[in-house]
Amino acid sequence: MSDSKNSLNRREFFSYLTVGWVMFSAALAGLGSLAFRFSYPNVNFDPEMEFLAGTPGDYAAGVDERYKNAFGVWMVKAEGRLVALSNICTHLGCIPTWLPSELKFKCPCHGSGYYMSGVNFEGPAPRPLERYRISLQPDGKIKVDKTKVFRAEKGEWDNPDAFLTV
Amino acid sequence: MLKALINQLADPIISFPIATLAFWWMIKYYRFFGSKKFGMWALIVSIPVVAWFFADPNFYLIIKTPDNVPIGILLILVCFFTWFSLHKAAVNDERIEQGLVPIEALPENREKVWSWPNLVYTELFAIIACTAFLVIWAIIFKAPLEEPANPTWAPNPAKAPWYFLGLQEMLVYFDPWMAGVVLPGLVVAGLIAIPYIDTNPKGNGYFTFMERKWAIISFLYGWLVLWVYLIIVGVFFRGPNWTFYGPFEYWDLHKVVAEYNINLSEFIWIKGLGIGMPKNLILREIFGILLTFAYVGIIPVWVAKATKIGRKFYEDMGSIRYYIFMFLFITMMSLPIKMVLRWLFSLKYIVALPEWELNL
Ligand code: FES
């Protein structure tokens, strides 16, 4: 009992321990939230999910690559329909190239090939390219909405939102 | 002339059977291929051949990219070490046949030394040599940086790092889920499982082929033909649009290869029975599903019951080890089988359920 001045008693020890432990957890939580924030990019280069794509009169029959680099969409006009075709390969998500002379999309990663309509016919791609929601605004502009996709193997390509009649 | 021929032969449809045959010969006549004489002659012959390859502008374009330098090193090392192990095994097998102990078991080779300094000095030297090598390499070849990433554009051809090109080649024949997740996972799991499946104590600490034939054959086939060969294909024979190009062929962006792949279900329902595809998904793919189950479930049992070697395996390993081994082996063999089916019948998927993201 004589050295009680310079040594901790039980109660003091626990209060120190509590303070220390709270600080330690707080530091850990701060570090964790910083690390979490770090995993999100500072600048986002992803293309917009919604955009205006001119008027129906802008398009000639065939594949239009105007919006491909900015938004990742091919506008394809064929058989009286204008559709917004995704440019993401259904195999592993590479970006195919449009080959105008062969009239097909061809993926540089494993060689999948798609017709102009987006239907897959060669290589390993298991299903056709997806199409995006496309609609005509009251002011005559075309709006493409990439948040809604239409998949051919589910029979969604005939959905009225999946194409514009032109 | 010769170059045109080589370009033709390099096409995986031809070069894959050649690689498999060459592998089989190498194993069958390993004493010949593992002899010092063969090694010497192979080295002597390969030097002018390699020089001749390098002299071709199109081939040089591929091999000179900094990315591909490691592949050159890999190929040289793989050739050397394969020959080296065959050589050692051939020598030992001959000694064992004569009733002698393997070289590694001779009294003068069993002598023990201290790891300090003998091993540690060697390791230190290896560390220094490797560092020096990497520094010099880094100085000579600049890092192949490209433009900033762009989510709406991909280089053509888009090639994985060289050590993954075997996997990328595999993806040509499989769904990404299979070739990207299941098969690589099984490769890793299978490699980890080897010491537990293969409990044969023979060959511990010395080279031999005869005493553990099947283990060596199945491993080397997977390694040399299904991994290294596919890396070679991916590096040298794949150009823009992932089309096949011979090693001496100019990478013409507009090379057209007619190809039209169809699924097994379309083969059977449309071409075979002529009655169009059923609406029900399971019914549509029923043949593929049955085939897959037969392949994975029935073949191992049948092999264990009906073939001599299967019976022997089954007895030696016990049933659990045997079925694990067979499962891994069969999964490995699904790659060459699917490659051949693609080439012969343009078969895309055996089970094609894109609605469920499930394709085999
Ligand atoms: S990602 Fe397009 S073919 Fe594999």
- If we measure between CA atoms, which residue out of B184, B230, B193 comes closest to residue B215? B193
Q: What is the pLDDT of residue A3?
A: 52
Residues within 8 A of B (CB atoms), A 24-83 only: 45-47, 68-72
Query: B175, B209, B242 — which closes off a domain?
Result: B242
For B126, the domain range is: 2-145+161-242
Bridge partner list, A164:
A82
Q: Please count the CA atoms within 13 angstroms of the CA of B78 that sit on its side-chain side.
A: 15
- Best mutation target, A65, A109, A150, to test chain B (most B CBs within 10 A): A109
Residue B139 lies in a domain: yes
For residues B190 and B336, membership in a common domain is answered with no
Bridge partner list, A104:
A99, A115
Is the predicted pLDDT of residue B289 greater than 70, yes or no? yes
Q: What is the pLDDT of residue B96?
A: 92
**Residues B355, B357: Cα–Cα separation, whole Å:** 6
**Residues B173, B298: Cα–Cα separation, whole Å:** 24
Nearest-Cα distance to chain B for A112, in Å, is: 8
For residues B184 and B276, membership in a common domain is answered with no
Is the predicted pLDDT of residue B344 greater than 80, yes or no? yes
For residues B279 and B211, membership in a common domain is answered with no
Q: What is the pLDDT of residues B72-115, one digit of tens each?
A: 899 999 999 999 999 999 999 999 999 998 988 888 888 888 99
Q: How far is CA B358 from CA A130, B335, B350, B353, in A?
A: 17, 17, 11, 5
Residue B155 lies in a domain: no
Residue B247 lies in a domain: no
The DSSP symbol for A99 reads: E
Partner B contacted by A92 (CB < 8 A): yes
- If we measure between CA atoms, which residue out of A154, A97, A91 comes closest to residue A125? A91
Asked if the Cβ–Cβ distance from A102 to B254 is below 8 Å, we say yes
Mean pLDDT of the region B317-334: 90
**B253 contacts B61 by C-beta, under 8 angstroms:** no
Tell me what the pLDDT averaged over chain A comes to.
88
The DSSP symbol for B93 reads: H
Asked if the Cβ–Cβ distance from B259 to A122 is below 8 Å, we say yes
DSSP per-residue string spanning B240-307:
GGG-B--TTS---TT-------B-HHHIIIIIIS-S---SSHHHHTHHHHHHHHIIIIIHHHHHHHH-
Helix, strand or coil for residue B56? coil
- Please name the residue that has the structure tokens 């060289």: B162
> Which residues on B lie below 8 Å from A119 (Cβ)?
none
> Is residue B156 classed exposed, middle or buried when 0-12, 13-18 and 19+ CB atoms within 10 A define those classes?
buried
For residues B36 and B120, membership in a common domain is answered with yes
Any ligand 1 atom below 6 A from CB of A94: yes
Alpha carbon A16 to its chain centroid, in Å, reads 50
Chain A residue with the nearest C-alpha to that of B155:
A108
pLDDT-based confidence at residue B195 (cuts at 50, 70, 90):
confident
Is the predicted pLDDT of residue B215 greater than 90, yes or no? no
**Phi (first) and psi of residue A145, to 5 degrees:** -120, 110
Q: What is the pLDDT of residue B84?
A: 95
Provide the residue type at B68 as one letter.
N
Mean pLDDT of the region B273-295: 85
Q: What is the pLDDT of residues B247-259, one digit of tens each?
A: 888 888 777 777 7
pLDDT-based confidence at residue B343 (cuts at 50, 70, 90):
confident
pLDDT-based confidence at residue A1 (cuts at 50, 70, 90):
very low
Residue B312 lies in a domain: yes
Provide the residue type at A71 as one letter.
F
For residues B63 and B138, membership in a common domain is answered with yes
For residues B201 and B271, membership in a common domain is answered with no
Q: Label the pairing between strands A113-115 and A104-106.
A: antiparallel
Q: What is the pLDDT of residue B12?
A: 87
pLDDT-based confidence at residue B63 (cuts at 50, 70, 90):
confident
Q: How far is CA B41 from CA B19, B21, B46, B124, in A?
A: 20, 21, 8, 35
Task: Tell me the best of A92, A106, A130 to mutate to test the pocket of ligand 1, counting ligand atoms within 8 Å of each CB and taking the most.
Answer: A92
**Residues B187, B211: Cα–Cα separation, whole Å:** 24
**For chain A, how many residues are written?**
166
Q: Name the most confidently modeled range: A91-95, B129-133, B181-185, B279-283.
A: B129-133
Partner B contacted by A99 (CB < 8 A): yes
Asked if the Cβ–Cβ distance from A107 to B260 is below 8 Å, we say no
For residues B227 and B277, membership in a common domain is answered with no
Tell me what the pLDDT averaged over chain B comes to.
88
Residue B205 lies in a domain: yes
For residues B207 and B167, membership in a common domain is answered with yes
For residues B193 and B231, membership in a common domain is answered with yes
Is the predicted pLDDT of residue A136 greater than 70, yes or no? yes
- Best mutation target, B152, B264, B279, to test chain A (most A CBs within 10 A): B152
Cβ neighbours for B97, distance < 8 A, ≥ 6 positions apart: B210
**B149 contacts A47 by C-beta, under 8 angstroms:** no
How many folded domains does chain B comprise?
A: 2
Q: What is the 3-state secondary structure (H, E, C) of A127-159?
A: CCCCEEEEEECCCCCEEEEEEEEECHHHCCCCC
Q: What is the pLDDT of residues A22-45, one digit of tens each?
A: 999 999 999 999 999 998 888 877
For residues B268 and B238, membership in a common domain is answered with no
- Please name the residue that has the structure tokens 């150009």: B239
Domain ranges of chain A: 1-40, 50-165
Residue percentage of chain B with pLDDT more than 90? 36
- If we measure between CA atoms, which residue out of B300, B308, B292 comes closest to residue B327? B300
**CATH code of domain A50-165:** 2.102.10.10
Residues within 8 A of A (CB atoms), B 211-240 only: 240
Backbone dihedral region for residue A165 (phi beyond 0: left; psi -120 to 50: alpha; all else: beta): beta
pLDDT-based confidence at residue B176 (cuts at 50, 70, 90):
confident
Distance (Å) from CA B10 to ligand 1 centroid: 23
For residues B284 and B193, membership in a common domain is answered with no
For residues B201 and B59, membership in a common domain is answered with yes
DSSP per-residue string spanning A10-59:
HHHHHHHHHHHHHHHHHHHHHHHHHHHHHTS-SS--PPPSEEE---GGG-
Q: What is the pLDDT of residues B125-172, one digit of tens each?
A: 999 999 999 999 889 887 777 778 777 788 888 888 888 888 899 898
- If we measure between CA atoms, which residue out of A43, A44, A53 comes closest to residue A145? A53
**B323 contacts B329 by C-beta, under 8 angstroms:** no
**A49 contacts A133 by C-beta, under 8 angstroms:** no
Q: What is the pLDDT of residue A6?
A: 65
